[in-house]
Amino acid sequence: MDSAVPDIKSDIISMINDKQEVTYNELRSFASSMSIGEELLKRNLKELEIANTIASRSSGGILTYYLLQSENVLRRIVIVEDDKNINKLMSLSVGKGFEITQFYDGKEAVEKIKCEKPDLVILDLMLPGLDGLEICQTIKKNPNLSDTIVIIVSAMDATSNRFKGIKYGADYYIKKPFDPVELRSLVTIFLKKKGKKFDPLVDLPNEDKISDAVEKAVKEDDNSYELGRLRVNGLAEFAQRFGTDSGVTILRLVSQLMQDKIREKGSDVFVGFLNGDDFVVGGSQSKTEKLIAEIQAEFSAVLPFIYQSEGYKPIELGIEDIYGAETPKLDLAYTPIQKDYLMEKRSEILRSKDKSSIGSYTYEELRHMFGGEDLDITITRGQGGVRLSIGKGSQDE
C-alpha cells in the first residue's frame, strides 16, 4: 500500500468498538476531521465488511456499523425453504463463514433442528409437512432451543403473518422478494455482533441519535424538518390484561412496520425508540405524514388478528364493532412537535446542563421535550432479553 495513503481501518475499528455501533455520518465526520476523502472511507469500510470485521445495517433510516466478534467456531444455520432456487439464493445470500444446512420439508427440518440445535433458522411459512409458524413456535417453546434466532422470509400476506411470527417468537420477518444484502446483514449481526445481543426493537436509534435529531430540528432555518412522537395508545392496559410479553410483541410489530415502510419507500425518515410506548419520527413534513398514515393503516388492518390471538372471536358477517366495549383498544397516535415548543422545552433542560458539554440528552429529558412524561411503559434489557414493565423504572443503558 502506498505510504501516502492512510490506513484508517484500525481507527474505524477502534471507534466502533468504543461505541458498540457507529453511524456512517459519524464516520464521515471523523474522516473529514482527518482530511480523509469519502471515497477512501467507503473503500476501507467495504474491505472491513468483506473481511467480516464489521457489518452494516440501515436502522431507523440511519446506516449503522457494528463490530463483529472474531470466532474460531462456525455458527450453524438451518434454511427451511421448499423452493430449491430460493433456498439456494438464501444460502448464497448468507455467504461464507457459517455452517449451513438446507431443508425443503418442514417436518424433516424440525426433527433435525431439535437434534442439532442450530444458532439460527431461516424459515419460509408455506412448507410441506409442517408450516413455518408451527416450526417457529416449536423452536421458541423448547427450552433447549429458545435462544435460537428465527428469521421468517415469506411471500404470504404480512398483515397477519408478520404479527403471528413475532408473537410466536420470530426475531425478524422479511417479505419476499427479499433483499439478499438485508438477509446477510441481519444474519451476520444477529450471530456475530460484539457486545449486547442484537434486537431490532431496542437497536433502533437510541438517545444519542434522537438527540442529534433534536439539534437538527431546532437549528433548521425553516420548518422543513419535523419531529414528532408516535405513541401506541392503550399499550399499558393491553399488557396488564394479556401479559408483558404481549406488550413487547406489539412494540416489535410497530418497529418492524416502520422499518419496512422506510425501506420500501427508500425514505430518509428517521425513527428512534424512547424505551417506552412511543417512538420519535423525524423528516420532511410531507414524507413523515405519508409514512405515518401508511403505518397507521397497516396497524389498523392487523388489529383484528391481534385481538383474535388473545381470545376475542369476531362475529361473522363483518359487523364493524365486533369485539364489544370492554376490548382493550390499541391505536397509533402521531403528534407533531411544534418547533417553538421543542425549543422552549430544550431551553428548560439546557439551563440545568453544562453548556460547554451538552452531549446527548437522557431519555427522561427527551420525553420532557416530546411531551411524553406520562410514562406508563418502561422497556429494559438485561441478560434475560427485553422486558416490559408497567410504570416508571430504571433504564438499562
Among 24-28, 64-68, 376-380, which is the least confidently predicted range?
Answer: 376-380
Tell me the pLDDT tens digit for each residue of 82-98.
Answer: 999 999 999 999 988 89
Phi, then psi, of 19 in degrees rounded to 5? -100, -5
Contacts 24+ apart (CB under 8 A), 390-396: 390/236, 390/239, 390/240, 390/244, 395/275, 395/363
DSSP assignment letter at 357? G
**Average of per-residue pLDDT across 127-140:** 93
Query: What average pLDDT does this structure show over 220-232?
Result: 84
Structural domains of the chain sorted by starting position, each given as residue range(s) with its CATH number in brackets: 9-67 (1.10.10), 75-192 (3.40.50.2300), 207-390 (3.30.70)
**Region for residue 43 given its phi and psi (left: phi exceeds 0; alpha: psi -120 to 50; beta: otherwise):** alpha
Q: What is the pLDDT of residues 152-176, one digit of tens each?
A: 999 888 888 999 999 999 999 999 9
CB-CB contact of 305 with 164 (8 Å): yes
Average pLDDT over residues 365-391: 80
Radius of gyration of the chain (CA): 22
Q: What is the mean pLDDT of residues 330-342?
A: 92
